[in-house]
Amino acid sequence: MKEFFEKNKIFIGIIVGALITGGAIIISNQGKNQGNSGKTGFGKCVNIPELPDRSLKLATKIIDGDTFLIEGGYSVRI
């Protein structure tokens, strides 16, 4: 058994490193997914003004990947 580890220590090191890296990625992504609700993968929209049924607002500025401004200066985060 000792000979196996001696001959394959580089391969074993790569496998252990990959497992550690994969575990770190999974753990870091768990905190990001906590805000999602349900099975659809969509989170809850926040900071949206009350709008009459079927009304539309134009997005006037994209802040980042999930935040934008709509007409009237309202900030919407999805």
Q: Where are the domains of the chain?
A: 1-34, 37-78
User: Which one is predicted more confidently, 4 or 44?
Assistant: 4
What are the two backbone dihedrals, phi and then psi, of residue 76, each rounded to the nearest 5 degrees? Answer: -120, 130
The 10s digit of each residue's pLDDT in 17-74 is: 999 998 888 888 776 655 544 444 455 666 666 777 777 888 888 888 888 888 888 8
> What pLDDT, on a 0 to 100 scale, did the predictor assign at position 78?
80
Nearest to 57, CA basis, from 74, 42, 44, 41: 74
